[in-house]
């Protein structure tokens, strides 16, 4: 049941779509250097769901 997607997180529409998809996931693998996801409100401090885990 694994799925993957590629998005341009500099695009606000992609960020919104990412957040909607992230509501359905339990784990987020962060391939970026530290701070990139946080800059868009998507990192560990911006968890979409309380049970969500982020890994680098």
Q: What is the pLDDT of residues 23-44, one digit of tens each?
A: 787 777 777 788 877 787 776 6
**Is residue 40 classed as helix, strand or coil in its secondary structure?**
coil
Q: What is the pTM of this model?
A: 0.60
Please list the residues that pair with 29 across neighbouring strands.
55
* Residue positions counted in the chain: 56
Matching residue, tokens 């693998």: 29
Domain boundaries defined on the chain: 12-55
pLDDT of residue 20: 86
Q: Give me the mean pLDDT over the 16-26 stretch.
A: 82
């Amino acid at each position: 049941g694994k799925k993957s997607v590629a998005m341009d997180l500099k695009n606000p529409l992609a960020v919104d779509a990412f957040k909607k998809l992230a509501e359905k996931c339990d784990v987020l693998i962060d391939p970026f250097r530290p701070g990139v996801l946080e800059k868009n409100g998507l990192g560990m401090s911006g968890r979409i769901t309380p049970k969500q885990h982020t890994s680098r």
